Amino acid sequence: MIQVAREMQHRKMDLPLLIGGATTSKQHTALRIANCYDAPVVHVLDASRAAGVVSNLLDPDARPAFDADNRALQANLREIYGSKRRKPLVTLDAARANRLRPSDWPSDAQPDRIGLRHETVPLAEIVPYIDWTFFFTAWSLKGRFPAILDHPDYGEAARELYDNARTMLDQLIADEAIETRIAWGLWPAWSDGDDLVLFDDAARTAEIARFPMLRQQEVKPDAGKPHRSLADFVAPRASGIADHVGAFAVAAGLGVDALVAKHEANHDDYSAILVKSLADRLAEGLAELLHHRARIAWGYGHDEALSKEDLIAERYRGIRPALGYPACPDHTLKGRLWQLLDAEKQAMTLTEHYATLPAAAVSGLYLGHPDARYFAVGKVGRDQVEDYAARLGQTVRETERWLTPVLAYDPEAPEGSAAAQTPRAEKAKTAAPSDGDAVLVGATAAPERRQRTA
């Protein structure tokens, strides 16, 4: 979104820019986007509000006051939140010295087989793994399922929506109208510095994939907390320990476009939206189901006796971080994931901006260490970006473009200016040794539990 705003400014455009989507906010728009473009930049909470915003922007009498109010709001948000954004950082060397050091590396996790697997799963098997809470969230009905069905204000609407969804879901299962695809596997692996390295055989003689990871650099308020990287949860090469890493991509959206087109042709927008909402839930449910099976295949999940509530609360060992989300904020790594999984053979593709098609799809890595937890990398400094670019084999400028949301400095600012500088690096205190139209930009689907910070 920041790149879009900058490009519009570069082309001297004057069209209003509307920012919307589940992962956007007024604060982010004010702090990171509005400053990049001189024309009106407006955050729109959801699609239902866009008509009113556009109406104000199109009305020559209403536009000046609307624009002035919006700019004043954004200036106020920058005043409130701007100073909080520029937190001091430790150097990359200090962050690495203060890495997480797990107490031990369990030897119980030995996969039943290593390598790639392509599968499919009937929709009916996914249903028990659906988290209906997020289904209602997508319809702007906030509350936990099943309690939401008895909500004093909108319980009746929630029950009607749920009944309609279950009826449609039963029909989708009966008609086999939606297909699933799964590409996943478990591979011998080590960490190499801040990289995850996967091998194609148990002897670890041939490297099959490498995933460079970022590390937290913001100063920790608690002196006892480490600067984490996902690489910390995999045994280092020097240890010689036979560790493993998993990877997966699942889709439950094959056939959705045809169903949506059919409903829209019949002017039934409600059913079209319902199909897409259910496909998203099925994809997330399929990811949960596959992770359950992967833990068993890995050798440490055989004794799990988890209820649906336990699964939703993630009361199991291991994590499945998604590439492009807080613990690994680089979407370009999906390209390496797709090569590893040969995912296109399972009808899953990536756009040039690394969005997944079909849209109802989920992908990521499996890390099985008992200490593995979700976290946010947060802001990173120029020293880490340069190091990370070298490990990726990219230019620093290209890497900065993809990491824009987490940069602790402005790469577009004039050289030598305060904005171009990384916030003051400190020594880690806990360091261990060694006009008519508008352009609308939307974000990707909202990250869920396993993609949030922990």
CA distance 253 to 180: 7
Position 420 confidence tier, pLDDT thresholds 50, 70, 90? low
Q: Given this model, what pLDDT does residue 83 score?
A: 59
Would you call 127 exposed, middle or buried from its count of C-beta atoms within 10 A (0-12, 13-18, 19+)? Answer: middle
**Pairing label, strands 356-357, 349-350:** antiparallel
pLDDT at 120: 96
Residue 297 to residues 181, 187, 202, 244, 367, Cα–Cα distance (Å): 19, 12, 16, 12, 13
Is the predicted pLDDT of residue 441 greater than 70, yes or no? no
Gyration radius from the chain CA atoms: 23
> Which of 74-83, 119-128, 245-254, 311-320 comes out lowest in average pLDDT?
74-83
Instruction: Give the separation between CA 365 and CA 74, rounded to whole angstroms.
Output: 37
Q: What is the mean pLDDT of the chain?
A: 89
Cβ atoms 183, 249 nearer than 8 A: yes
Lowest mean pLDDT among 25-39, 85-99, 426-440: 426-440
Residue 335: Cβ within 10 Å count = 12
pLDDT at 448: 44
Region 186-215 average pLDDT: 96
Confidence at 427, pLDDT banded by 50, 70, 90:
very low
The whole-number average pLDDT for the span 285-293 is 97
Query: Given pLDDT bands bounded at 50, 70 and 90, which one contains residue 450?
Result: very low
> Bigger pLDDT: 49 or 22?
49
pLDDT at residue 437 is higher than 60: no
How high is the pLDDT of residue 415? 63
Distance of CA 277 to the CA centre of its chain: 18
pLDDT at position 443 over 80 = no
What pLDDT, on a 0 to 100 scale, did the predictor assign at position 425?
A: 55
Of the listed ranges 22-36, 241-255, 287-301, 412-426, the least confidently predicted one is 412-426
- Class of residue 203 by CB neighbours under 10 A (exposed 0-12, middle 13-18, buried 19+): exposed
Residue 447 has pLDDT above 50, yes or no: no
User: Cα–Cα distance between 366 and 322 in angstroms, integer?
Assistant: 9
185-189, 396-400, 420-424: least confident range: 420-424
Asked if pLDDT for residue 446 goes beyond 90, the answer is no
pLDDT of residue 70: 94
291-295, 350-354, 442-446: range with lowest mean pLDDT: 442-446
pLDDT tens-digit readout, 107-159 = 767 899 999 999 999 999 999 999 999 999 989 899 999 999 999 999 999 99
